[in-house]
Amino acid sequence: MVDLSSHLFLLSLSLHCCFIACLAANTKNITTDQSALLAFKSLITSDPYDVLANNWSTSSSVCNWVGVTCDERHGRVHSLILRNMRLRGTVSPNLGNLSFLVILDLKNNSFGGQLPTELCRLRRLKILHISYNEFEGGIPAALGDLSQLEYLYLGVNNFSGFISQSIGNLHQLKELEIGQNKMSGPIPQTILNMSSLEHINLAVNYFSGEIPSLNNMTSLRVVDFAFNNLNGRLPNDFFNQLPQLRNFSLNNNQFEGSIPQSIGNCTSLIYLDLSSNFLIGMLCFLSGHIYLK
Ligand SMILES: *[C@@H]1O[C@H](CO)[C@@H](O)[C@H](O)[C@H]1NC(C)=O
Ligand SMILES: *[C@@H]1O[C@H](CO)[C@@H](O)[C@H](O)[C@H]1NC(C)=O
Ligand SMILES: *[C@@H]1O[C@H](CO)[C@@H](O)[C@H](O)[C@H]1NC(C)=O
Ligand SMILES: *[C@@H]1O[C@H](CO)[C@@H](O)[C@H](O)[C@H]1NC(C)=O
Ligand SMILES: *[C@@H]1O[C@H](CO)[C@@H](O)[C@H](O)[C@H]1NC(C)=O
Ligand SMILES: *[C@@H]1O[C@H](CO)[C@@H](O)[C@H](O)[C@H]1NC(C)=O
Ligand SMILES: *[C@@H]1O[C@H](CO)[C@@H](O)[C@H](O)[C@H]1NC(C)=O
Ligand SMILES: *[C@@H]1O[C@H](CO)[C@@H](O)[C@H](O)[C@H]1NC(C)=O
Ligand SMILES: *[C@@H]1O[C@H](CO)[C@@H](O)[C@H](O)[C@H]1NC(C)=O
């Protein structure tokens, strides 16, 4: 008995030591956040309003830097919000070290190059807003790892390539905007697994093929797939269970066949544009803004 308990004690002690050692190896603190932000600043090649030049100085805490907020509980960087500042450059992969980041918002600047895969390490991220920049290359498949993500705005950039199947892992996602890029290939079936999705905008790209039948996406309010190369027929039950649907745009594609009668179930619909397709059908039971051609 004595032997056994002392063995257990030794075992637990060694496990404990390993645990401490492993923790220490992964420990990040506000100093890590500071070096991540300084790395980010160092890749900004133009800052015409001098927003960061003087303000982001190591003589004050990063929590006082313009665009940066920290959370009270951990004292770590919680959000980085730099909108409309005409900042130019590439995004440092070191931002992936901001392990408590919840909001990353760089909307409307001139950031270019590829979106670093390291951002997919930001496991607490809820909002990623980088619309109106000049990003190019693919959208990293590892974005599907951001399981807390609720808002993903990538619109008005130069992203190309396919949307990864892994997008379906974003079970918390409410809004997905990839409009006005150069994306191609199919809209993945896995979007049907994003059961929280309310708003999806994939307009003005080169998406092709048939679209997934959205008939069980009960939270959807806005769907905009306009100006792509999508085709095929809409199944009869397409609109069966879209009670929240308000805006639905499929215009300027190559859909054919008839408009499903199930559209009568969409009692919240206020905006419908199916124009510039090869669709036929009657919509006399609908009111609101209807565009058919
Ligand atoms: C952060 O951790 C490093 C070691 O990893 C340490 O040298 C530094 O003093 C710590 N900074 C703060 C503010 O605790
Ligand atoms: C940086 O900007 C913030 C917000 O405008 C301000 O509160 C802070 O004092 C500035 N810090 C320095 C060092 O200029
Ligand atoms: C982008 O920011 C500039 C100011 O830097 C502003 O003039 C412009 O209206 C903004 N554009 C958008 C789409 O927000
Ligand atoms: C932060 O991330 C970069 C690149 O992702 C890495 O090389 C670096 O070692 C990290 N720095 C710290 C202080 O953790
Ligand atoms: C996309 O790339 C084209 C040239 O390839 C360029 O003219 C255009 O301004 C870019 N758009 C954005 C939003 O970066
Ligand atoms: C949804 O997720 C489940 C389990 O994660 C998977 O088996 C299924 O194939 C997915 N469905 C679609 C349409 O992606
Ligand atoms: C919709 O149906 C697909 C398969 O038919 C399933 O994988 C998905 O989880 C369903 N989504 C919702 C929101 O029920
Ligand atoms: C509305 O949806 C139900 C199933 O939820 C379906 O049985 C019915 O036919 C639909 N109504 C129309 C007008 O298609
Ligand atoms: C939805 O349609 C309404 C009515 O036309 C319009 O005012 C609104 O901007 C549209 N919303 C989106 C997100 O497209």
Quote the pTM value: 0.89
pLDDT score of 282: 62
Ligand 1 within 6 A of CB of 31: yes
Other beta carbons within 10 angstroms of residue 258's beta carbon come to 12
Q: Which of 199, 194, 206 is nearest to 231 (CA)?
A: 206
Closest residue by Cα to atom 1, ligand 6, is 193
What is the pLDDT confidence band of residue 114, given thresholds at 50, 70 and 90? very high
Q: Which of 195, 189, 246 is nearest to 223 (CA)?
A: 246
Q: Which of 76, 36, 68 is nearest to 52 (CA)?
A: 68
Closest residue by Cα to atom 14, ligand 5, is 134
What is the pLDDT confidence band of residue 128, given thresholds at 50, 70 and 90? very high
Q: Which of 23-27, 101-105, 158-162, 272-276 has the lowest mean pLDDT?
A: 23-27
Measured from CB, residues less than 6 Å from any atom of ligand 7 are: 192-193, 195, 216-217
Alpha-helix residue ranges (DSSP H) falling in the chain:
2-26, 30-42
DSSP 107: -
Task: Write b or e for each residue in 36-50: b if 16 or more Cβ atoms lie within 10 A of its Cβ, otherwise e.
Answer: bbeebbeebeebeee
Q: Which atom of ligand 3 is nearest to the CA of 156?
A: 13
pLDDT score of 54: 87
Mean pLDDT of 231-256: 94
Q: Identify which has the larger pLDDT, 18 or 81.
A: 81
- How many helices (DSSP H) and strands (DSSP E) are in the chain? 2, 21
pLDDT score of 291: 59
Ligand 5 mutation target, pool 130, 158, 159, most atoms within 8 A of CB: 158
Instruction: Give percent above pLDDT 90 in the chain.
Output: 81
Query: In angstroms, rounded to a whole number, what is the distance separating the alpha carbons of residues 269 and 246?
Result: 4
**Lookup: tokens for 232:** 């095929």
Query: In angstroms, rounded to a whole number, what is the distance separating the alpha carbons of residues 236 and 206?
Result: 26
What is the pLDDT confidence band of residue 95, given thresholds at 50, 70 and 90? very high
User: Are the C-beta atoms of residues 164 and 186 closer than 8 Å to each other?
Assistant: no
Closest residue by Cα to atom 13, ligand 7, is 195
